[in-house]
Amino acid sequence: MKISELSRRTGVPVASIKYFLRQELLPAGRATAATLAEYGDEHVQRLRLIKALTALGGLSIAATRNVLAAIDQADSSEGALGAVSYALPVPVAAQSAAGDEEEAEADATAGAEVAELLAALDWQAPGTSPHVQGLTSALKELRRLDARYAPGELAAYARLAESVARLDLERAAGVDDPVALAERAVIVFAICAPVFELLRRLAQEDQVRRRAAGDGAEAASPR
Amino acid sequence: MKISELSRRTGVPVASIKYFLRQELLPAGRATAATLAEYGDEHVQRLRLIKALTALGGLSIAATRNVLAAIDQADSSEGALGAVSYALPVPVAAQSAAGDEEEAEADATAGAEVAELLAALDWQAPGTSPHVQGLTSALKELRRLDARYAPGELAAYARLAESVARLDLERAAGVDDPVALAERAVIVFAICAPVFELLRRLAQEDQVRRRAAGDGAEAASPR
């Protein structure tokens, strides 16, 4: 198909397709003349994924390139999920440790809180994991805001997160081809995160509305 | 205190403080000379919140301004939570409806899926809610990617989101002053969202690692 047909089938404007081609997010088509190329179904599929990652997942072009590389390099179904998990951008970046003593103490306190949580949950993650480092930074900032989690609160959230992750892994299962599995994992991990956040915001909205209406029993009932 | 002391106490560089002052995110200090001003504890508190919203919450300057305005305008504790909920940026923006028939049909299908979900959960949210519109856009895109949720899957995520929202509301409770309550709600709603996402990523990482190690029973156990 021509680029105009590719645009029609994906809803991505021709100018954006050309941008993705220049950025090498999308492989070039088969050249049929000096300025014409033919595209195939694999371009439709890849373009839909790029659109979803950037528009829904909120990924930058650089982050999208990382994720696509992890998909294309997937060579075993065991390795695919881990590679995708580390290729995705981290919600809170680890902060570079400042030299100052107070800062080092705050880092150590937050680090101990994370280590304790992981041990209590029996979660395996190395200290070098970007997720461990991001969580440490986030907890440090929350302490600074005087908004730390009460004892047990973070673990309660973590147990819910574990259930969500289990649903995620189930959705990403049942695909044998490593590249197809990696693509599925990207969709589940990256694009379904904003969906879950929307569900949470909707649930908050419902509960705030009930509370304002004096339906306190509902909002305060144990989970 | 002088601006240098404000910078030291919050870890925000002086240049950034001046930028936030120009952008009117931070109220001006009390002028003590033509080019000098004194700042108080309220500036420390506000600056920490701005830092957390932009660095941890990932909010833009414009979004931060919206949220701060919602805090400062909170005049009742009932209204504060709702105002904050709507002032926060939506994870997936509603898409402008294209004229084309296929697009209109896709919108209608996704809209029906959302309405059915809300009815099944007994969640109250008007069709004009930015969260309803965002979820509709997201489901439409997922269908396009051939990655729609299986029947019951979205509801399973939604029930977990409801439990998370209940924890959120509990954390935001127990504050009487509307402005203080709104500020607490901003922290819980905006800043704890990336924390939950990190917990979910950690849980995914743990489960991927166990699966790769052949510990399949654990990852596949019912939640």
Q: Specify whether the CB–CB gap between A81 and A188 falls below 8 A.
A: no
A–B interface: beta-carbon pairs under 8 A: 268
Mutate which of A196, A210, A218 to disrupt the B interface (most B C-beta within 10 Å)?
A196
Question: What is the pLDDT of chain B when averaged over all its residues?
Answer: 85
β-sheet bridge partners, residue A33: A36
Measuring CA to CA, which residue among B25, B13, B26 is closest to residue B60? B25
CB-nearest to A85 from B163, B191, B204 is B204
Q: Do B164 and A157 touch (CB under 8 A)?
A: yes
Is the Cβ pair A202, B125 closer than 8 Å? yes
Q: Out of A126-140, A143-157, B95-109, which region has the weakest mean confidence (pLDDT)? A: B95-109
Closest C-alpha to B183, from B172, B195, B192? B172
ipTM for this prediction: 0.83
- Reduced to 3 states (helix: H, G, I; strand: E, B; else coil), residue A11 is coil
Looking at residue A93, what is its pLDDT? Answer: 66
Dump the DSSP string for A103-170: HHHHHHHHHHHHHHHHHHHT----TT-HHHHHHHHHHHHHHHTT-PPPTTHHHHHHHHHHHHHHHHHH
Distance, CA of A179 to chain centre: 18
Write the pLDDT tens digit of every residue in B38-89: 999 999 989 988 988 888 888 889 989 988 988 888 887 777 888 888 888 8
Do residue A204 and residue B169 have CB atoms under 8 angstroms apart? yes
Distance CA B166, CA A208 (A): 10
Distance CA A170, CA A90 (A): 22
Q: Which of B11, B147, B171 sits opposite A187 (nearest CB)?
A: B147
Closest-CA residue in chain A for B117?
A199
CB B182 within 8 A of CB B83: yes
Tokens of B120: 């099944």
**B47 to chain A, minimum CA–CA distance in Å?**
10
Tell me, what's the pLDDT at A164? 94
- Tell me which of B7, B191, B200, B207 to substitute to probe the interface with A (most A C-beta atoms closer than 10 Å): B200
Is the Cβ–Cβ distance between A184 and A80 less than 8 Å? no
A interface test, pick of B50, B85, B123, B205 with most A CB neighbours within 10 Å: B205
| pLDDT tens, residue by residue, B138-178 | 898 888 888 888 888 999 999 999 999 999 988 887 787 88
Beta bridge mates, A31: A37
Nearest CB among A52, A142, A158 relative to B141 is that of: A52
Give the orientation angle of helix A3-10 with respect to helix A41-51, to 10 degrees.
50
Give the span between the Cα atoms of A104 and A100, in whole angstroms: 6
Q: How would DSSP label each residue in B205-218?
A: HHHHHHHHTT-HHH
Asked if B196 lies within 8 A of A157 by C-beta distance, the reply is yes
The closest of A46, A176, A87 to B145, measured between CA atoms, is A46
Distance CA A218, CA B94 (A): 30
